[in-house]
Structure 1
């Protein structure tokens, strides 16, 4: 039975959610384009279901490798999203291969009719770092991009970030009276340049635009080792990175939005990966549609991620023999459960995963299916269904502190041409115990509140209003 304090906390959080709906705070909605979407300049072509799954497996493996890098870098991090060495170089704990969304953003103001005029560019969206930057006119060396480099000298709304009277910068390093930055990614890519302020323009829900002045960003003059995995690099339209991490220079923090939400569309519907773009909603735009039960659980921010307290797993309504301590976050930054939109699949530490796997094997022994012995990439448990019989999939629930996360069957399994696989795999890292990937998060709206540190979620058809 829930304690009085838990009941009062739930009431308080629900009042906050109602405040989001009725309060008059400003908001912002940014369309996030999945890198494999037909809308993306990185679109890989019309893939078959098997090709999509292979690609998603590759992306999941790359993401897990990135997480290992995150663990190594953020345990000694100087800020929530990055480490800074004595030379002022910012080390972002991400690789470009671990970035899965893009955004089309307008920068600057130029005296071109109709005035004011701005140019829109494709940015990779990086939730692991807090610096937004683009290649600027005059850069050398630069990676190739089809659009012209940002003409900051011609923008009437651009201003440089200058050092203070003591030769210091609030962010970055002071060089010849101006604030500069150096950003090094885990993949070895490096960008260097000057910090400045500029107007950024985003498309709004009603077909218009929303502009925000004096946002801090990096004007990149030296870029090296960038690879966007294009068959023809001369077709590249990516111009830089949009930083959505937890640091003070990130876009949400500069706009002073303490809450944000997303609702991920399934990639497996008709049209497949072409439909999986979504929207990041901030401030007053982050709200529930209504009609569904809202679940809340506390957040525990760490590094660039938000952890929730997981206390157990149930299979077919029966609690599995896994202690809550197996999912606990330790003081030295190990373990815990996190939700990650950058990873396609859900993974569980191998010891606890083996218990889930054994329960699944026991369940499917009662049906006319054969377990596949072959390696299916990230998938560790697959079955062939030779007669294409309709098989009832089992249920599974993740138990969070104060609420439950019930997993739908199409989030727990992936159907193949002649069988199916458990869409959960094992991992051997210690940075987290459980990572809930975007496939398991589909058709739910998640709202993160960073002021009171709680996560709220409810079921929603994300195709209607993601």
Structure 2
């Protein structure tokens, strides 16, 4: 969630946490079977904090786990009960567990405080609290209790009250208590409303035949999940055609970020993909234009009304696997475009403002992912309807 474009995902995503380690914790992940609709285009999941139910963004692009606490000023308006933390649970600046070397944490009157800003405009600050679980008092998790959150945050729907950062740093629950491992699959089908899955710790799994990628270090911020993207192909009249970009176009990195709705491609790659789409849609009688929403998106509108059966060409990404061989991820029309009732298509990919590519939640649907921080591996398998 280190990037902009957080409010553009229009799929309905539900989530299930299947986890046993934290069921006895004050902050526990619920085992649920309901479908939870998307809030303002964020992938979110329910969290039980004490006796309160909170909903937090599921975000592989940030690390700290925080929820809005009482009292707060300013606050995000919420329709769920506020969570109150025992003041004795707040970490002191002198506490061994307070990460004084990390710039997002600071001394606030002797207490361990944090400050986080997201590029979508959300800022939050609060105190770090420690909650023990199980029999031993040495078993605990550290989370952020927010007392000040941007009131006009893009959350802004009275539902989402925090962020479950799933990045690689210590303050992520993945690192604290989930053995550095989790799996998830987000379903793109908005009609079936099948529950999606998020599996953590020992409940996570790698599907048979999954593609295996290495987590790359040193190209992007250390908490981000970076993989080796080597090229892209678009389906054309002669089959798969590699986009025309210079060698090294993707050397800046390729990040997997569920907190970002749409994929942002480095400029040269974006231009090449758009060029292929322009040629295809022009040949099929579509007119190129841009949407007028908060974020400008490239759209193709039919010149006649019977073009709704025209299907957009798929895009294929080529990654370097752990063995050095190429492996591929295919994005179909549902993952690439938002289609209106008249057959118009709006591309759910935008140009990146950075030197690296970010793959967002739209393009991560119908794929089963497993992140393993210990082995420094990411596994993925195509999985329509997320049935496993």
> Would the TM-score normalized by the shorter structure come out above 0.5?
yes
SS in 2 for 1:246: coil
How high is the TM-score relative to the length of structure 1? 0.60
Pairwise CA RMSD: 3.9
> How many angstroms does 1:213 deviate by?
5.0
Q: Select which of 298, 301, 306 maps to 2:225.
A: 306
Q: Does 1:318 find its partner at 2:241?
A: yes
Gap regions ≥5 residues in structure 1: 1-24, 45-55, 57-99, 109-117, 202-211, 330-335
> How many angstroms does 1:181 deviate by?
0.3
How high is the TM-score relative to the length of structure 2? 0.71
The residue correspondences of 1:153-302 to structure 2 (distance < 5 A) are: 153=86, 159-162=89-92, 164=94, 169-171=98-100, 172-173=105-106, 179-186=111-118, 187=121, 189-193=123-127, 195-199=128-132, 214-220=140-146, 222-223=147-148, 225-228=150-153, 236=158, 238-267=160-189, 269-270=190-191, 275=193, 278-290=196-208, 293-301=209-217, 302=220
The 1-side partners of 2:169 and 2:256 are apart by 19
Q: Does 1:405 find its partner at 2:329?
A: yes
SS in 2 for 1:372: strand
Q: How many residues align?
A: 338
Residue of structure 1 equivalent to 2:44: 102
Residue of structure 2 equivalent to 1:341: 258
Residue of structure 2 equivalent to 1:455: 378
Q: Measured at CA, do residues 350 and 422 of structure 1 come closer, stay the same or move farther in structure 2, by a change above 3 Å?
A: farther
> How many angstroms does 1:393 deviate by?
4.3
Superimposed CA distance per residue, residues 178-216 of structure 1 (whole angstroms, 9 cap, x where no aligned partner):
5320314243634233x3321579xxxxxxxxxx95211
SS in 2 for 1:317: strand
Question: Residues 343 and 437 of structure 1 are in contact (CA less than 8 Å); yes or no, is this contact kept in structure 2?
Answer: yes
The 1-side partners of 2:196 and 2:229 are apart by 27
Q: Measured at CA, do residues 279 and 200 of structure 1 come closer, stay the same or move farther in structure 2, by a change above 3 Å?
A: farther
Superimposed CA distance per residue, residues 244-269 of structure 1 (whole angstroms, 9 cap, x where no aligned partner):
332212211110522222111105x3
Question: Residues 62 and 224 of structure 2 are in contact (CA less than 8 Å); yes or no, is this contact kept in structure 1?
Answer: no
Question: Residues 313 and 397 of structure 1 are in contact (CA less than 8 Å); yes or no, is this contact kept in structure 2?
Answer: yes
> How many angstroms does 1:418 deviate by?
2.5
Question: Residues 245 and 268 of structure 2 are in contact (CA less than 8 Å); yes or no, is this contact kept in structure 1?
Answer: no
Q: Measured at CA, do residues 107 and 146 of structure 1 come closer, stay the same or move farther in structure 2, by a change above 3 Å?
A: same
> How many angstroms does 1:364 deviate by?
4.6
Question: Residues 414 and 423 of structure 1 are in contact (CA less than 8 Å); yes or no, is this contact kept in structure 2?
Answer: yes
Computing the radius of gyration from Cα coordinates, the structure with the larger value is: 1
Residue of structure 2 equivalent to 1:9: none
Q: Measured at CA, do residues 226 and 381 of structure 1 come closer, stay the same or move farther in structure 2, by a change above 3 Å?
A: closer
Gap regions ≥5 residues in structure 2: 1-19
Residue of structure 1 equivalent to 2:63: 130
Q: Measured at CA, do residues 254 and 313 of structure 1 come closer, stay the same or move farther in structure 2, by a change above 3 Å?
A: same
More helix by share: 1
Q: Measured at CA, do residues 264 and 249 of structure 1 come closer, stay the same or move farther in structure 2, by a change above 3 Å?
A: same
Question: Residues 60 and 257 of structure 2 are in contact (CA less than 8 Å); yes or no, is this contact kept in structure 1?
Answer: no
Question: Residues 266 and 276 of structure 1 are in contact (CA less than 8 Å); yes or no, is this contact kept in structure 2?
Answer: no
> How many angstroms does 1:311 deviate by?
1.6
Q: Select which of 323, 335, 354 maps to 1:430.
A: 354
Residue of structure 2 equivalent to 1:464: 387
